Amino acid sequence: MIYENIPLLNFDPTREAIIEPGKIIQPRDVPDHCVICFFAEVIDWVKENHNPREVWRTSSEIGPHPLYEIDFQGQRLAFYHPGVGAPLAAGLFEEMIAVGCRKFIACGGCGVLDPEIAVGHLLLPVAAIRDEGTSYHYLAPSREVEADPRGVEALESVLKRHGLAYFRTKTWTTDGIYRETPAKAARYLEEGCLTVEMEAAAFFAVAKFRKVKFGQLLYGGDAVIEEGWDGRDWHRRKDIRRNLFWLAAEAVLEL
Say how far apart CA 137 and CA 202 lie, in whole Å: 9
pLDDT given for residue 239 in this prediction: 81
Structure confidence at residue 230 as a pLDDT band (50, 70, 90): very low
For residue 229, pLDDT beyond 60:
no
For residue 21, pLDDT beyond 60:
yes
Structure confidence at residue 115 as a pLDDT band (50, 70, 90): confident
Mean pLDDT of the region 221-238: 51
**Mapping DSSP to helix (H, G, I), strand (E, B) and coil, where does residue 7 land?**
helix
Say how far apart CA 48 and CA 43 lie, in whole Å: 9
Written as one letter, the residue type at 47 is: K
Written as one letter, the residue type at 137 is: H
Count of residues in the chain: 255
Say how far apart CA 221 and CA 248 lie, in whole Å: 18
pLDDT given for residue 225 in this prediction: 45
Q: DSSP state, 110? A: E
pLDDT given for residue 221 in this prediction: 63
**Average pLDDT for the chain:** 92
pLDDT given for residue 223 in this prediction: 55
pLDDT digit string, tens, across residues 155-207: 999 999 999 989 999 999 999 999 999 999 999 999 999 999 999 999 999 99
- Comparing C-alpha atoms, which of 210, 6, 175 is closest to residue 96? 210
pLDDT given for residue 236 in this prediction: 57
H runs (alpha helix) in the chain:
21-24, 40-49, 86-99, 149-161, 182-190, 200-210, 238-252
Strand-strand pairing, 228-230 and 213-225:
antiparallel
Cβ-based neighbours of 99, under 8 Å, separated by 6 or more: 25, 26, 27, 28, 30, 56, 58, 67
> Domains of the chain by range and CATH?
27-252 (3.40.50.1580)
CB contact at 8 A, 123 and 166: yes
For residue 152, pLDDT beyond 90:
yes
pLDDT given for residue 17 in this prediction: 96
Say how far apart CA 68 and CA 187 lie, in whole Å: 40
Q: For residue 151, with 0-12 CB atoms within 10 Å meaning exposed, 13-18 middle and 19 or more buried, which class applies?
A: buried
Structure confidence at residue 117 as a pLDDT band (50, 70, 90): confident
H runs (alpha helix) in 50-199:
86-99, 149-161, 182-190
pLDDT above 90 as % of the chain: 82
Structure confidence at residue 240 as a pLDDT band (50, 70, 90): confident
- Comparing C-alpha atoms, which of 124, 86, 67 is closest to residue 200? 86
Mean pLDDT of the region 49-54: 97
For residue 231, pLDDT beyond 90:
no
- For residue 167, the cross-strand partners are 123
pLDDT digit string, tens, across residues 54-108: 999 999 999 999 999 999 999 999 999 999 999 999 999 999 999 999 999 999 9
CB contact at 8 A, 170 and 128: yes
Say how far apart CA 46 and CA 32 lie, in whole Å: 19
